A and B are shown apart, each in its own frame.
Chain A
Amino acid sequence: MRGAFRPALGVLTAIGGFVDISNLVTSGVTGARFGMTLTWAIVLGTGAMILYGEMAGRLAAIARRPVFHVVRERLGVRTGLANLAAVEALSLLTVAAEIGGVAFVLELLTGVNYLVWVPVAGLVTGLIVWRLPFSGLENIFGLLGLTLIVFVVALFVLPTDWGALWHGATHPWVPRGEGHPAYFFYAISLVGSCVIPYQVIFFSSGGREEHWTRERLTEMRTNVLVGFSLGGVLSVAIMAAVAVALRPRGIQVEHLSQVALPAAEALGRVGAVLALVGFGAATLAAAAVSALSTGYGVAQYFGWPWGKDRRFAEAPRFHLATLSGVAVATAMLLTTVNPLTITILSVVLGAAAVPLTYFPLMVVVNDRAYMGEHVNPGWLNALGSLLMLAMVVITLVAVPLLLLTGGGS
């Protein structure tokens, strides 16, 4: 399909970086508690991801640079290192959350406690990031994750009141019985589950792995638009399906299994299996994507050779960093800390850390020495700055809200 429509990286990024454990959980929880009133947060997050994803892809295609190269060049050794430490810590939390998600799915499928599955999920993640070629990662998980479309189908099968859903989405008031702190805490969680610091690292590095060039800018932009919009649509569909199937009965989402209930109610056993396969693919892909991002970040900061398609001997330190990330995350889970706590923590702190990678990215895509004529147009800078400002506000209120609401409970 050379030269034709190839949105593989976009779909992988959507399934692996966008619709991940945090997105599944927050979409489900908010659908059950707040109906559709938080749709705006997903739309905002998706919009921000499309804008910044395009910048990261353009940097990879035109300047042939991944994001952490420019973080080091622009911020210098010390600030860059602090930045790297923060982003790596968050990515590790995310890897742990995703591996926990895979283990949960395996528990649901087999009935065996998730802790037994944690080492298995960790091992599989390690094998994927070590052995599976980049295109394999894109195609297998991109396709498997598409089973999540079952939530869109479920909406048409269930007795959905479309008017009520639309009314909820367009009237973003706090529902009766809920407080403002919880509402805004979950709004930040939703934005944070869409806009993730490592996402631009992964997308720009993936663009280099795919050898994007100036001539393939259109393909890159198609990837961004199709991939992230698909991610946004799937999250809204999950939120809506939960709002339709669970909210009227007052069922709260406290476990991943409950997010699959709408699919099961609409389509029976088939729906449940499709939803679980989708969950498994999305969380496993996200585990691989976030683990790769830890390796990309370290290798690019230090200038080491990196790349998934390089053999171990050609890029030993990159592979070592990636695999130790998986090992540390697995060990973290084996302390029996609740994976959902890690998930919420990674999402909220992640939202706070977004400027760390997004700000240097925006500075560099405005630099003609790197980008030539392909610098940001003015309107994109205006929009990007506005979103950056919103993310800074989120940074300031995220942690107080996390403490105030006790993690949204």
Chain B
Amino acid sequence: MRTDGRLWVNELLLDRQIFDVDGEPVGKVDDLEFTVPDDGGPPVLTAFISDTAALGPRIGGRLGAWWLAIGRRFQARADRDPYRVPTALVEDVDRTEVRLTVPRYRLSRWR
């Protein structure tokens, strides 16, 4: 790990376990959501995506495409967001886990 405060997503974020304020498992960091601010400027990290279907593109190839397609069909409503964990609710991140400031049922969609 570099020591100057810069970090790469692979060593800090991706595939880390997310725990809620009570230490209950919420999910993995399967993907990251960036938002382009209204006034322009570079994209900002706004949420962790924790959704089994979101793994599809990371698996890659035909299997990944199937994964995504099948995973989407399992979702109750197609227009729903994947399971988002807004970065505003994150208490702390280290190399081994992500901890939240709220219990898991307070998140936008609890399955």
Say yes or no: A69 contacts B55, CB within 8 Å.
no
Checking B15, B27, B52, B59 against A73 with a beta-carbon cut-off of 8 angstroms, the contacting residue is: B15
Checking A78, A81, A370 against B96 with a beta-carbon cut-off of 8 angstroms, the contacting residue is: A370
Checking A73, A77, A369 against B58 with a beta-carbon cut-off of 8 angstroms, the contacting residue is: A77
Say yes or no: A303 contacts B18, CB within 8 Å.
yes
Say yes or no: A81 contacts B59, CB within 8 Å.
yes
Tell whether B109 is near chain A: CB-to-CB under 8 Å: no
A-B contact count (CB 8 A): 42
Best-buried of A65, A72, A73 by chain B (most CB within 10 Å): A73
Q: How far in angstroms is the closest Cβ of chain B from A321?
A: 12
Chain A residues near B10 (CB-CB < 8 A): 76
Tell whether A305 is near chain B: CB-to-CB under 8 Å: yes
Tell whether A388 is near chain B: CB-to-CB under 8 Å: no
Chain A residues near B15 (CB-CB < 8 A): 72-73, 76-77, 80
Chain B residues near A65 (CB-CB < 8 A): 17, 96
Say yes or no: B27 contacts A302, CB within 8 Å.
yes
Chain B residues near A73 (CB-CB < 8 A): 15-17, 96
Q: With the chains together, A72 CA to B29 CA distance in Å?
A: 11
B: number of interface residues (CB 8 Å): 21
Q: With the chains together, A275 CA to B30 CA distance in Å?
A: 49
Tell whether A356 is near chain B: CB-to-CB under 8 Å: no
Say yes or no: B59 contacts A302, CB within 8 Å.
no
Say yes or no: B27 contacts A304, CB within 8 Å.
yes
Which residues A81-99 have CB closer than 8 A to chain B? 81
Chain B residues near A358 (CB-CB < 8 A): none
Chain A residues near B14 (CB-CB < 8 A): 76
Decide yes or no: A303 and B96 within 8 Å by CB, A72-B15, A73-B15, A78-B58 being known contacts. no
Say yes or no: A306 contacts B58, CB within 8 Å.
no
Q: With the chains together, A69 CA to B15 CA distance in Å?
A: 9
Q: How far in angstroms is the closest Cβ of chain B from A184?
A: 37
Say yes or no: B59 contacts A303, CB within 8 Å.
no
Q: With the chains together, A65 CA to B17 CA distance in Å?
A: 10
Q: With the chains together, A49 CA to B18 CA distance in Å?
A: 31
Chain B residues near A169 (CB-CB < 8 A): none
Mark interface residues in B73-111 (1 if CB within 8 Å of A CB, else 0).
000000000000000000000111000000000000000
Tell whether A63 is near chain B: CB-to-CB under 8 Å: yes
Decide yes or no: A303 and B28 within 8 Å by CB, A77-B15, A369-B95, A370-B96 being known contacts. yes
A: number of interface residues (CB 8 Å): 17
Chain B residues near A370 (CB-CB < 8 A): 96
Tell whether B33 is near chain A: CB-to-CB under 8 Å: no
Decide yes or no: A303 and B94 within 8 Å by CB, A77-B55, A78-B58 being known contacts. no
Q: With the chains together, A72 CA to B18 CA distance in Å?
A: 13
Decide yes or no: A78 and B94 within 8 Å by CB, A72-B15, A302-B28, A303-B17 being known contacts. no
Chain B, residue nearest A75 (CB): B15
Chain B residues near A81 (CB-CB < 8 A): 59
Chain A residues near B17 (CB-CB < 8 A): 65, 69, 73, 303
Say yes or no: A303 contacts B27, CB within 8 Å.
yes
Chain B residues near A303 (CB-CB < 8 A): 17-18, 25-28, 30, 50
Say yes or no: B25 contacts A304, CB within 8 Å.
yes
Chain A, residue nearest B61 (CB): A78
Decide yes or no: A72 and B96 within 8 Å by CB, A77-B58, A302-B52 being known contacts. no
Q: How far in angstroms is the closest Cβ of chain A from B50?
A: 7
Mark interface residues in A365-395 (1 if CB within 8 Å of B CB, else 0).
0000110000000000000000000000000
Q: How far in angstroms is the closest Cβ of chain B from A324?
A: 15
Say yes or no: B25 contacts A306, CB within 8 Å.
yes
Which residues B33-87 have CB closer than 8 A to chain A? 50, 52, 55, 58-60
Q: How far in angstroms is the closest Cβ of chain B from A319?
A: 14
Best-buried of B10, B24, B25 by chain A (most CB within 10 Å): B25
Chain B, residue nearest A76 (CB): B15
Q: With the chains together, A72 CA to B27 CA distance in Å?
A: 12
Checking A72, A78, A302, A305 against B24 with a beta-carbon cut-off of 8 angstroms, the contacting residue is: A305
Q: Which 5 A-B pairs have the closest CB atoms?
A: A303-B28, A303-B27, A77-B58, A369-B95, A305-B25
**A contact residues vs B (CB 8 Å cutoff):** 63, 65, 69, 72-73, 76-78, 80-81, 302-306, 369-370
Query: Could you pull out 21 A-B pairs where Cβ atoms are within 8 angstroms?
Result: A65-B17, A65-B96, A69-B17, A72-B15, A72-B28, A73-B17, A77-B55, A77-B59, A78-B59, A78-B60, A80-B15, A302-B52, A303-B25, A303-B27, A303-B28, A303-B30, A304-B25, A306-B25, A369-B94, A369-B95, A370-B96
